[in-house]
Amino acid sequence: MRKAVIGIPAARKKGKKGSPYFLTREKDVEALVAAGAVPLLLPAGIPLTDIPDLTETLDGFLFAGGGDLDPEIYGKVHHEKVYGLNSQRDAFELALMREVIARDLPVLGICRGMQLLNVACGGTLVVDIASQLPHAGKHDWWPKFKRDKLVHTVTIDPASRLAGILGVSGFEANSLHHQAVQNPGKDLRVVGWAEDGVPEAVEHSRNRFAFGVQWHPEWLQDQASMRALFTAFVKAAEEKNSFSS
């Protein structure tokens, strides 16, 4: 069996001297390579009409962290804490995510990626946790803190498929976000929570491997449970041709 090829959407950034480029974080690539996959960056400049070719060719998709989705996409108004808006990235990733879900292809969404999965399935987000959920604890442990800093406990529903993959129902996690799932999208179920009740994980009830996690497992590869998540993702991608329609 050949290695699974995992697509990672790469957002456009402005270069310091006016030359734009597309990029993703090295940790996402490292985690996939360690799990036995071949990562492939997908520039957000790819025409949306080519998305069916991508989903036909690749074995799985990792949607990584980054700036916020435009709140107007899910029916909310702009907030002063919203940052990093990128209309090109939003359009590309939403179209790709919807095609991936429709084709039942393996997908893992991390931080923004979890929020993207929820919005692509018709859900909504809390635009800013600190100002809209006064009972919540601190979740935006960035940019003045190390990305692997463990700041709160995540509890996973022991009956969920995600708990079976991780092999644990509770662990300490990092936290680098200021938004969260509000209303879960179609066929999505919240299966993980922080101590304050903020959703930390979702899984798709119909698709074979479609999960979103709000923490950053790529930075926690010293934890066996986080390595297990990427291993299971890659295994599902390796088997993609045997279960995709």
Which one is catalytic: 93, 111, 200, 204?
Answer: 111
Active-site residue flag, 111: yes
Positive or negative, the CA dihedral 119, 184, 228, 207 is negative
Which one is catalytic: 99, 200, 203, 218?
Answer: 218
Which one is catalytic: 152, 177, 204, 216?
Answer: 216
Q: Where are the alpha helices (DSSP H) in 128-243?
A: 129-132, 161-166, 224-238, 240-243
CA 62 – CA 107 distance, rounded (Å): 6
Residue type, 88: Q
Active-site residue flag, 218: yes
What DSSP line would sit under 66-110, residue for residue?
-SPPPGGGGT----TT-----HHHHHHHHHHHHHHHHTT--EEEE
Contact 113, 64 (CB under 8 A): yes
CA proximity to 197, closest of 240, 150, 234, 153: 153
Query: Residue 90, class by beta-carbon neighbours within 10 Å (0-12 exposed, 13-18 middle, 19+ buried)?
Result: buried
Distances from the Cα of 83 to the Cα of 127, 141, 142, 181, 184, angstroms: 11, 15, 13, 17, 22
Rg of the chain's alpha carbons, rounded to an integer?
A: 17
φ, ψ of residue 57 to 5 degrees: the values are -90, -40
Active-site residues, by number, are: 111, 216, 218
